[in-house]
A = this chain, B = another copy of it.
């Protein structure tokens, strides 16, 4: 329905770039909670209307928000779909970490696989599971 494609590199760049500014994250937070006009948003920040308008533009280009015309106003609402996609991407990295830890465990479990040179320097005492879950 919505998109369900894999995010391209440029799309992902845009998403994280859009999230990399406090003002824009705040706009996202406000519009994920409730639809708001660009003016209403602009009133919240200590900068010109044009500046806020540009921030909204960046969020829109990343498809993190969607605009809808209502008379002379443009109502902004967040697009949770894209937020979820970004979150899923980070979860993917964490999954890779899990896989790595598993490989390490498997290595440590083996008796003596192949005497390669220093395959993992200083694994430390005990199981290497400091992971945070």
Could you list which residues of chain A lie within 8 angstroms of chain B, going by C-beta atoms?
1-2, 9, 12-13, 16-17, 19-22, 25, 28-29, 32-35, 70, 75, 78, 80-81, 83-84, 86-87, 90-91, 93-94, 96-97, 99-100, 120-121, 130-132
- Determine the distance from Cα of A96 to Cα of B78 in the docked complex, in whole angstroms: 11
- Determine the distance from Cα of A3 to Cα of B97 in the docked complex, in whole angstroms: 19
Known: A13-B22, A16-B19, A32-B94. 8 other contacts (CB 8 A): A2-B132, A12-B22, A19-B20, A28-B93, A33-B99, A84-B90, A84-B132, A87-B90
Query: How often does this chain occur in the complex, in copies?
Result: 2
| 8 Å CB contact of A94 from B16, B83, B131 | B83
